[in-house]
């Protein structure tokens, strides 16, 4: 069967499962809609958290990032997995004991202020919409390539699917859907990785295959290093980032992970405090399966790509190359007129994305309108192609290629659903219930939540269909935004009794504004004129991806200083802070 037929079958089966679960797990109360009734087992919650966390960025983009940056890409592995250690140790148990539905709910009650709650809602909306835009676009791209539909139609289909299981089931429906989506995405990621590892090294375990020898007796990493140096790239296993920037990016990703509202809310769904800690540990285990495999996939994909296309005549190029040209994720411009693809270090295309003309070149290639003729490189490769096209490059069976499509959709849809629920609950619970109409009935609040999620899906879909030019660049920076805004407010709210509303509000506002300014200044060029070498202008030598660390430290400083210059929080709030830090049963233990 063709890839398209296999894709229809696998996507159809998985979508049927998602719809079936949504109907079975319909939410009948706000507690079920917000936190799945608080009765989810640690195992199910761990799998759901892993699916919620492993978005299209983890499934599609992370291996691609590592493929192109090599050693420098390790910051994403350390930061994103390390964030779960912070979450398990410093946040999850205490937030579960506090017993609220959302992060803005915790901040509003802990800081006894609707102003603090409103600032937290605004921060949650900024982080969530920044993150969800990339998920919806990812859905559109996968549908476009594998089902041969227009990207706009693909986004609309994705919107409809998310709307069904989020609208009907809320957190209850999303949780059990995400359990299935985790199984789909991890199977889809591991099967081609195992195939390719065995194909290239004879070792079926990708993590070990990455350090094994190829059929010619050369270690695969040594082979990749030599291929890189021959083509003018830096060695794959060498790093170029400064030690400070590596530290800053890693810490920003860690704190951002621990501060993401759609991840934190998962720990409100389990029955007990100890279950929250178990959930975090299990989620880390489930995530580690993909995250320890991603570097191996990166090595295999990069080696296969270079060996397949470099110095190859376009007339002899494999069919996968010409198929992916249509998506704009790969492009060739024959600058020296020899009909062969010259893939070497340097920029092939002016700008970040190729702009395709309507005509084709003499070799049949898609023409690009702005080839950078000052560079000798002729090949543009988008990093997202490395996972999606990897099975085709390695000539794996059609059903494996289709499985990757189903996995990519599962990853994007599971995260999109979690983010949209955060947006919905921030509006219905933290704005309407807590501030605008406190006497609203449970049914009325549930109706507002469902209307909110409908509107949020429409807005997210519009971001996917008409993405601002800089959305793709800032999706990963959602972590910096979360680190700069939420993380200090939550940590200080748990561990600092003296922390008051004035300090928390000032810290969150300064942190989010500073991070937004830096992102816009150095990622979009909308503020001032963007320097061709912006690294020279970075503050303290910190990249935009790592600036969340500086914004977070400034947030901490502002929060502590302002809180010490203003009145302490009420006595009852200080008692609540004391209480949530005492483990259950500690009082009884002290009596014996």
Examine the domain organization and report whether 404 and 386 are in the same domain. Answer: no
Examine the domain organization and report whether 164 and 80 are in the same domain. Answer: yes
pLDDT attached to residue 65: 81
Examine the domain organization and report whether 167 and 217 are in the same domain. Answer: yes
How long is the chain? Answer: 592
| Residue 67 forms part of a structural domain | yes
Place of tokens 């081609």: 192
Q: What is the CATH number of the domain that holds 36?
A: 1.20.1730.10
- Phi/psi for 107 (5° steps) reads -65, -40
Examine the domain organization and report whether 154 and 293 are in the same domain. Answer: yes
pLDDT attached to residue 368: 58
Range of the domain at 83: 3-304+394-472
Whether 249 and 72 have beta carbons less than 8 Å apart is answered as: no
Structure tokens at 505: 């509000």
Structure tokens at 238: 């060498």
**Any bridge partners for residue 366, and if so which?**
360
| Residue 500 forms part of a structural domain | no
Q: Tens digits of per-residue pLDDT, 415-435?
A: 777 777 778 878 887 788 888
pLDDT attached to residue 550: 94
Structure tokens at 98: 């506090």
Instruction: Report the alpha-carbon distance of residue 534 to residue 517 in Å, rounded.
Output: 15
Instruction: Report the alpha-carbon distance of residue 67 to residue 54 in Å, rounded.
Output: 18
Examine the domain organization and report whether 413 and 349 are in the same domain. Answer: no
Whether 340 and 240 have beta carbons less than 8 Å apart is answered as: no
Residues with pLDDT less than 50, the chain: 469-472, 527-533, 585-592
Place of tokens 């898609």: 366
Place of tokens 């949650």: 124
Instruction: Report the alpha-carbon distance of residue 206 to residue 197 in Å, rounded.
Output: 5
pLDDT attached to residue 367: 52
**Half-sphere exposure of 388 toward its Cβ, with a 13 Å CA cutoff?**
30
Taking residue 538's Cβ as centre, other Cβ atoms within 10 Å add up to: 16
Structure tokens at 35: 């936190």
| Residue 264 forms part of a structural domain | yes
pTM of the model: 0.79
Of 455, 472, 489, which one is at a domain's C-terminal end? 472
For β-strands 379-381 and 356-360, DSSP reports them as: unpaired
Place of tokens 């109409």: 437
Examine the domain organization and report whether 388 and 398 are in the same domain. Answer: no
Going 518 to 519 to 524 to 526, the CA torsion angle's sign is negative
Strand, coil or helix: 340: strand
pLDDT attached to residue 194: 92
Examine the domain organization and report whether 67 and 183 are in the same domain. Answer: yes
Q: Tens digits of per-residue pLDDT, 309-345?
A: 887 888 888 888 877 777 667 888 777 777 888 887 7
| Residue 91 forms part of a structural domain | yes
Find the helix or strand (DSSP H, E) in which 413 lies: helix 398-425
Place of tokens 């084709």: 360
- Domains contained in the chain, number: 2
Of 374, 392, 410, which one is at a domain's C-terminal end? 392
> From residue 230, how far is each of 94, 226, 307 by CA, in Å?
53, 6, 12
Examine the domain organization and report whether 464 and 341 are in the same domain. Answer: no
Examine the domain organization and report whether 43 and 157 are in the same domain. Answer: yes
> From residue 73, how far is each of 133, 196, 291, 299 by CA, in Å?
23, 21, 12, 12
Instruction: Report the alpha-carbon distance of residue 57 to residue 542 in Å, rounded.
Output: 22
Find the helix or strand (DSSP H, E) in which 360 lies: strand 356-360
| Residue 15 forms part of a structural domain | yes
| Residue 178 forms part of a structural domain | yes
Examine the domain organization and report whether 297 and 232 are in the same domain. Answer: yes
Examine the domain organization and report whether 82 and 13 are in the same domain. Answer: yes
Structure tokens at 164: 């069904």
Of 442, 472, 502, which one is at a domain's C-terminal end? 472
Examine the domain organization and report whether 165 and 274 are in the same domain. Answer: yes
| Residue 98 forms part of a structural domain | yes
pLDDT attached to residue 589: 38
Work out the burial of residue 571: count CB atoms within 10 Å of its CB; fewer than 13 is exposed, 13-18 middle, 19 or more buried: exposed
| Residue 517 forms part of a structural domain | no
pLDDT attached to residue 556: 95
């Amino acid at each position: 069967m063709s890839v398209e037929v296999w894709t229809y079958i696998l996507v159809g089966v998985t979508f049927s499962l998602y719809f079936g679960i949504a109907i079975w797990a319909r939410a009948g109360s706000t507690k079920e809609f917000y936190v799945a009734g608080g009765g989810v087992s640690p195992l199910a919650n761990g799998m759901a958290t892993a699916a919620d966390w492993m978005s299209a960025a983890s499934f599609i983009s992370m291996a691609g990032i590592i493929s192109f940056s090599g050693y420098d890409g390790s910051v994403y592995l350390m930061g994103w997995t390390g964030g779960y250690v912070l979450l398990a140790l410093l946040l999850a148990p205490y937030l579960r004991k506090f017993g609220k539905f959302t992060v803005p709910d915790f901040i509003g009650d802990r800081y006894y202020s609707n102003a603090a709650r409103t600032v937290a809602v605004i921060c949650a909306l900024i982080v969530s919409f920044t993150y969800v835009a990339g998920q919806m676009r990812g859905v559109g791209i996968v549908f476009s390539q594998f089902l041969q539909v227009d990207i706009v139609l693909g986004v609309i289909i994705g919107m409809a699917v998310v709307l069904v299981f989020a609208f009907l089931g809320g957190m209850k429906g999303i949780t059990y859907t995400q359990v299935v989506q985790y199984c789909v995405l991890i199977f889809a990621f591991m099967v081609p990785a195992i195939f390719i590892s065995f194909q290239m090294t004879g070792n079926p375990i990708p993590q070990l295959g990455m350090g094994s020898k190829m059929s010619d007796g050369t270690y695969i990493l040594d082979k990749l290093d030599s291929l890189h140096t021959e083509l003018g790239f830096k060695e794959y296993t060498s790093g170029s980032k400064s030690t400070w920037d590596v530290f800053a990016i890693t810490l920003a990703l860690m704190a951002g992970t621990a501060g993401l509202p759609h991840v934190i809310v998962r720990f409100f769904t389990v029955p007990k405090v100890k279950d929250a800690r178990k959930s975090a540990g299990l989620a880390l285990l489930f995530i580690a399966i993909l995250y320890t495999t991603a570097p191996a996939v990166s090595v295999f994909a990069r080696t296969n790509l270079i060996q397949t296309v470099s110095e190859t005549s376009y007339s002899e190029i494999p069919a996968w190359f010409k198929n992916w040209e249509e998506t704009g994720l790969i492009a060739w411009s024959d600058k020296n007129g020899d009909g062969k693809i010259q893939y070497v270090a340097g920029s092939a295309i002016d700008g970040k994305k190729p702009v395709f003309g309507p005509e084709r070149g003499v070799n049949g290639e898609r023409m690009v309108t702005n080839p950078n003729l000052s560079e000798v490189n002729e090949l543009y490769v988008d990093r997202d192609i490395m996972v999606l096209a990897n099975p085709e490059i390695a000539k794996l069976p059609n059903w494996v290629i289709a499985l990757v499509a189903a996995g990519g959709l599962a990853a994007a849809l599971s995260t999109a659903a979690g983010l949209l629920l955060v947006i919905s609950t921030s509006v219905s619970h933290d704005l309407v219930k807590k501030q605008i109409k406190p006497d609203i009935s449970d049914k009325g609040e549930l109706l507002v939540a469902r209307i909110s999620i409908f509107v949020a899906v429409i807005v997210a879909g519009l971001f996917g269909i008409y993405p601002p030019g800089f959305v793709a660049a800032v999706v990963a920076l959602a972590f910096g935004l979360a680190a700069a805004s939420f993380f200090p407010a939550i940590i200080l709210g748990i561990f600092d009794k003296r922390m008051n509303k004035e300090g928390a509000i000032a810290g969150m506002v300064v942190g989010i504004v500073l991070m937004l300014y830096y992102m816009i200044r150095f990622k979009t060029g909308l503020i001032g004129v963007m320097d061709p070498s912006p690294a020279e202008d970075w503050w303290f030598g910190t990249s935009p991806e790592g600036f969340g660390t500086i914004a977070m430290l400034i947030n901490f400083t502002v929060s502590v200083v302002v809180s010490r210059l203003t009145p302490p929080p009420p006595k009852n709030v200080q008692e609540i802070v004391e209480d949530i830090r005492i483990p259950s049963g500690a009082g009884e233990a002290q009596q014996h």
